[in-house]
């Protein structure tokens, strides 16, 4: 049974989280949730994780926090807002510009969130010296979204991302597992209702059912996790998206309550990533890529995958000015880029007038 001291500690913990820049903070019990485990099994069984083999490899540890760390008794679920000031769809028809997902236009969220989690963990240890704990942000078998729902900070929407009544779909999530017995919050109710805006907006029909995502069809997966050539059936639908896709998030009606001023300043878009020219990105060598994307989550996919995505965007652009930078990549040593360049040139040839 949680005592009054633990309740007061939880209240003060949430206040400290807010002071550190977290927009939401809630607490869930660390035990197993059978429904959470069943949904994970179904998702993996359908093969919806694609080539993300790590999802299946440590599935047992994803089922419950105690499966990863048996000493865990409570989960502190946290989120930082990255609500954009501008319309994420604004560049949809600007073919010569590349679209980068809102979350990747600023500083690397891994670094920012982890700093905040560690600061909060230090505060908690100072308040409760015997409090064993572990911090996680997107790098361990932790199911942040269903845990966030259990902790009351939002609900897992039909697009499978967490939705907050206050911050919409724009939250970076992190978690602290602790051996402390803290009072759990009430799980958040589902507020999606009959809305299916996210499903209707998906350019590749990546949602086989509400609350279920087939990553193999998702543009975020294709541009970030997928290696090798982009499957031809998805190339036109990619448009000018070169890293991630915001469409299902951007159309969520709950975003009308999100305030961009609540976002951490570290997530503000860098000028060179807000609306980069495809021609400039296509011309980057390895050194140039590392320079442009230093401190960005985009850096982890490497120059070849990013240029592959840009070639698909160039093919979709209808911009004859991109023919020259695309042609230059026909000599690239990477066969995936050569194939993508040939495809892009074929697409651009269709819109060029005959002599």
Quick check: helix, strand or coil at residue 235? helix
What pLDDT band is residue 277 in, cutting at 50, 70 and 90?
very high
pLDDT single digits (tens) 107-127: 899 999 999 999 999 999 999
Answer for the pair 147, 75: CB distance below 8 angstroms, yes or no: yes
| Closest among 252, 218, 213, 269 to 91, alpha carbons compared | 269
pTM of the model: 0.94
| Closest among 239, 225, 241, 222 to 301, alpha carbons compared | 225
Write the CA distances from 34 to 31, 40, 62, 109, integer angstroms.
Answer: 10, 10, 12, 30
Quick check: helix, strand or coil at residue 76? strand
Strand partners, 168: 164
- Least confident window among 52-66, 158-172, 341-355: 341-355
E-state strands within 56-107: 74-81, 99-100
Q: Which residues are catalytic?
A: 138
Q: What distance in Å separates the CA atoms of residue 350 and residue 44, rounded to the nearest whole number? A: 40
The predicted structure's pLDDT at residue 130: 86
pLDDT single digits (tens) 8-36: 999 999 999 999 999 999 999 999 888 88
The predicted structure's pLDDT at residue 331: 97
Res 1 pLDDT > 70:
no
The predicted structure's pLDDT at residue 147: 96
E-state strands within 293-338: none
Q: What distance in Å separates the CA atoms of residue 287 and residue 334, rounded to the nearest whole number? A: 16
Burial 279-314 (b: 16+ CB within 10 A, else e): bebbebeeeebeebbeebbbbebebbbbbbbbbbbb
Per domain, the residue ranges of the chain are: 4-84+106-178, 197-349
DSSP letter (8 states) at residue 93: T
The DSSP H or E segment spanning 172 is: strand 171-178
Quick check: helix, strand or coil at residue 209? strand
Neighbouring residues of 66: CB distance < 8 A, sequence distance ≥ 6? 30, 31, 32, 72
pLDDT single digits (tens) 222-256: 999 999 999 999 999 999 999 999 999 999 999 98
């Amino acid at each position: 049974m949680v005592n009054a001291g633990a309740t007061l500690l939880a209240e003060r913990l949430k206040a400290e989280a807010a002071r550190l820049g977290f927009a939401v903070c809630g607490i869930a019990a660390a035990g197993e949730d059978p429904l959470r485990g069943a949904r994970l099994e179904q998702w993996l069984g359908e093969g919806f994780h694609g080539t993300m083999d790590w999802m299946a490899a440590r599935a047992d540890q994803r089922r419950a926090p105690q499966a990863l760390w048996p000493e865990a008794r409570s989960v502190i679920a946290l989120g930082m807002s990255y609500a954009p000031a501008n319309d994420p769809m604004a560049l949809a028809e600007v073919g010569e510009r590349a679209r980068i997902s809102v979350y990747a236009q600023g500083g690397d969220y891994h670094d920012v969130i982890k700093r905040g989690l560690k600061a909060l963990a230090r505060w908690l240890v100072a308040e409760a010296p015997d409090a064993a704990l572990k911090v996680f942000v997107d790098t361990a078998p932790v199911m942040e979204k269903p845990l966030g729902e259990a902790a009351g900070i939002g609900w897992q929407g039909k697009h499978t991302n967490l939705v907050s009544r206050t911050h919409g779909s724009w939250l970076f999530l992190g978690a602290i597992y602790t051996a402390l017995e803290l009072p759990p919050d009430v799980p958040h109710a589902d507020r999606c209702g009959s809305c299916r805006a996210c499903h209707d907006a998906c350019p590749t029909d990546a949602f086989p059912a509400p609350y279920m995502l087939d990553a193999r069809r998702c543009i975020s997966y294709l541009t970030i996790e997928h290696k090798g050539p982009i499957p031809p059936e998805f190339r036109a639908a990619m448009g000018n998206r070169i890293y991630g896709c915001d469409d299902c998030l951007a159309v969520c009606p709950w975003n009308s309550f999100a305030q961009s001023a609540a976002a951490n300043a570290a997530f503000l878009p860098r000028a060179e990533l807000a609306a980069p020219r495809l021609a400039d990105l296509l011309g980057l060598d390895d050194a140039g890529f590392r320079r442009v994307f230093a401190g960005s989550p985009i850096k982890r996919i490497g120059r070849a995958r990013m240029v592959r995505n840009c070639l698909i965007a160039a093919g979709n652009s209808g911009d004859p000015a991109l023919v020259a930078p695309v042609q230059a990549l026909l000599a690239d040593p990477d066969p995936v880029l050569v194939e993508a360049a040939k495809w892009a040139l074929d697409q651009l040839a269709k819109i060029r007038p005959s002599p």
